[in-house]
């Protein structure tokens, strides 16, 4: 314990002007991330129309209903029973708790609105001292159930989740107009969801000034996760979606979670930088190997060229040798031809050339001048591989001191390049 007094839970209503905004999934995502930061989180499914959170954790709801039945209890959701009866709480896999809309899947929209309001207020008051945050997943639109959840008598803040299109924007303005006294500037955030990543980058700078939380991007990884009924969070290595959630939570909760967020981000930076050191060393070794390979290939090419020149020089050497022998015979009087030269220099030169060239031929013949399949690679390809490796080494050098956002955004690209078959000697 750090000696600080436990504050009552902050109650956040997740609302939307129309269905399909991704409100329910973001509710679970926020809860999961806050649990990852060590916070105690309760979610309450107040969506009378779809019971979205209840369906998301349907398996857990059914198991909890069986547990309650085995203990001779009637499990009650927020739309079931009366105010004084105990709500059955589900513990979901990522650590948060959930009060479902209903365990018996009654028609939630037929429940008396006053009974619902009483159940909800009682559940919140009974839980405020046990949790740090309570999320209400409200019904989309502007009906009475949504109004109860968004009301300042129920929640401390409201996050209106919306897609980025003209119809959704008009829906937000309509919602704020209908509930003007409750959806005030001070307690209301707009969170744009399902935005293209390039739009996120261009809008993030000014949105907080207009009480917009940092927007949430959607890419292929997010869509695949949702299709599998999973959250797109990546606590281990991070991804752009996770970073967007971090920025959105920082916008909305500010200093309440600033220290916890910074601690988490610093731990991720250390984890992401650790493989960079190994990769940097591996790339250096590969670079040295390629430089040796290039030198070997160039030496072989040089020897091959010299071999051709050598065989072209053999007839000249033979002629010089014949000339030298003839000249010596002439000087010794063994032949009757009188040469116009009066010095034995040419004879000596011819002998030296023949001896040197013959030795060089023997030296070349000792080596294996046939191409080895392992080294059948052109000098241009070696140069291309060297350029790629040198570029990668420069990127890794920059990443050694990069922040977590840069590390996450470059992780997938660098990983792909690092396992390029051609670059690493395959193909």
User: At residue 1, does pLDDT exceed 50?
Assistant: no
Q: What's the whole-number mean pLDDT along residues 54-61?
A: 94
Token representation of residue 2: 């750090």
Q: Measure the CA–CA gap between 241 and 200, rounded to whole angstroms.
A: 11
- pLDDT number for residue 137: 98
CA nearest to 78, candidates 31, 17, 33, 139: 139
User: At residue 374, does pLDDT exceed 60?
Assistant: no
Are 28 and 56 in contact by the 8 Å Cβ rule? The answer is yes
Domains in the chain with CATH codes: 10-256 (3.40.50.300), 276-418 (no CATH)
Are 232 and 239 in contact by the 8 Å Cβ rule? The answer is yes
Are 99 and 39 in contact by the 8 Å Cβ rule? The answer is no
CA nearest to 50, candidates 134, 109, 98: 109
Token representation of residue 182: 């409750």
Banded pLDDT at 384 (limits 50, 70, 90): confident
User: At residue 240, does pLDDT exceed 70?
Assistant: yes
Are 138 and 11 in contact by the 8 Å Cβ rule? The answer is no
Q: What's the whole-number mean pLDDT along residues 386-405?
A: 76
Task: State the distance between the two ends of the chain, measured CA to CA, in whole angstroms.
Answer: 59
Residue spans of alpha helices (H) in 86-189? 113-127, 144-150, 166-178
Q: Measure the CA–CA gap between 174 and 237, rounded to whole angstroms.
A: 40
Residue scoring higher pLDDT (427 or 146): 146
User: What is the average pLDDT value for the chain, to the nearest integer?
Assistant: 79
- Look-up: residue for tokens 């369906």? 55
- pLDDT, tens digit, 9 for 90 and up, residues 253-268: 988 898 888 888 877 7
- Look-up: residue for tokens 């806050």? 34
Q: What's the whole-number mean pLDDT along residues 196-204?
A: 65
Please list the residues that pair with 203 across neighbouring strands: none
Are 213 and 159 in contact by the 8 Å Cβ rule? The answer is yes
Are 125 and 70 in contact by the 8 Å Cβ rule? The answer is no
Cβ atoms within 10 A of the Cβ of 322, count?
11
CA 416 to chain centre: 12
Are 205 and 176 in contact by the 8 Å Cβ rule? The answer is no
Token representation of residue 209: 């000034």
Query: Which stretch of 30-39, 72-81, 236-245, 406-415 has the lowest confidence by average pLDDT?
Result: 406-415
- pLDDT number for residue 415: 56
* Residues in contact with 427: Cβ distance below 8 Å, sequence separation at least 6, in sequence order: 421
2-16, 129-143, 206-220: range with highest mean pLDDT: 129-143
Query: Which stretch of 25-39, 59-73, 98-112, 287-301 has the lowest confidence by average pLDDT?
Result: 287-301
User: At residue 313, does pLDDT exceed 60?
Assistant: no
């Amino acid at each position: 314990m750090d000696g600080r007094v436990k504050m009552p839970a902050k109650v956040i209503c997740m609302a939307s002007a129309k269905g399909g905004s991704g409100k329910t999934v973001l509710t679970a995502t926020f809860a999961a991330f806050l649990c990852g930061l060590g916070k105690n989180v309760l979610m309450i499914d107040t969506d009378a129309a779809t019971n979205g959170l209840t369906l998301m954790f349907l398996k857990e709801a059914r198991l909890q209903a069986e547990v309650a039945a085995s203990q001779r209890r009637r499990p009650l959701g927020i739309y079931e029973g009366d105010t004084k009866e105990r709500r059955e709480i589900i513990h979901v896999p990522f650590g948060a708790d959930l009060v479902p809309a209903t365990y018996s899947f009654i028609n939630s929209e037929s429940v008396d609105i006053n009974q619902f309001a009483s159940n909800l207020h009682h559940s919140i008051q009974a839980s405020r001292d046990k949790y740090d945050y309570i999320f209400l997943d409200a019904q989309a639109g502007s009906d009475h159930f949504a109004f109860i959840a968004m009301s300042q008598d129920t929640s401390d803040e409201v996050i209106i989740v919306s897609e980025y299109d003209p119809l959704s924007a008009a829906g937000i303005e309509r919602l704020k107009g209908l509930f003007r006294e409750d959806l005030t500037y001070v307690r209301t955030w707009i969170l744009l969801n399902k935005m293209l990543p390039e739009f996120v980058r261009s809008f993030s700078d000014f949105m907080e000034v207009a009480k917009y939380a940092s927007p949430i991007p959607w890419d292929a990884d997010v869509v695949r996760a949702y299709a599998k009924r999973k959250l797109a969070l990546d606590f281990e290595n991070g991804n752009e979606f996770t970073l967007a959630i971090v920025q959105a939570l920082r916008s909305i909760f500010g200093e309440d979670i600033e220290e916890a967020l910074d601690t988490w981000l610093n731990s991720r930076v250390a984890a992401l930088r650790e493989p960079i050191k190994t990769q940097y060393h591996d790339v250096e070794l590969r670079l040295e190997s390629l430089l040796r390979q290039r030198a070997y290939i160039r030496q072989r090419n040089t020897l091959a060229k010299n071999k051709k020149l050598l065989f072209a020089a053999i007839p000249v050497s033979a002629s010089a040798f014949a000339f030298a022998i003839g000249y010596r015979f002439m000087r010794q009087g063994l032949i009757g031809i009188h040469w116009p030269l009066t010095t034995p220099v040419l004879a000596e030169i011819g002998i030296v050339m023949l001896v040197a060239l013959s030795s060089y031929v023997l030296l070349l013949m000792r080596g294996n001048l046939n191409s080895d399949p392992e080294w059948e690679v052109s000098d241009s390809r070696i140069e291309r591989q060297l350029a790629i490796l040198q570029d990668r080494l420069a990127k890794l050098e920059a990443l050694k001191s990069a922040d977590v956002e840069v590390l996450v955004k470059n992780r997938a690209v660098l990983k792909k390049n690092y396992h390029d078959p051609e670059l690493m000697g395959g193909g």
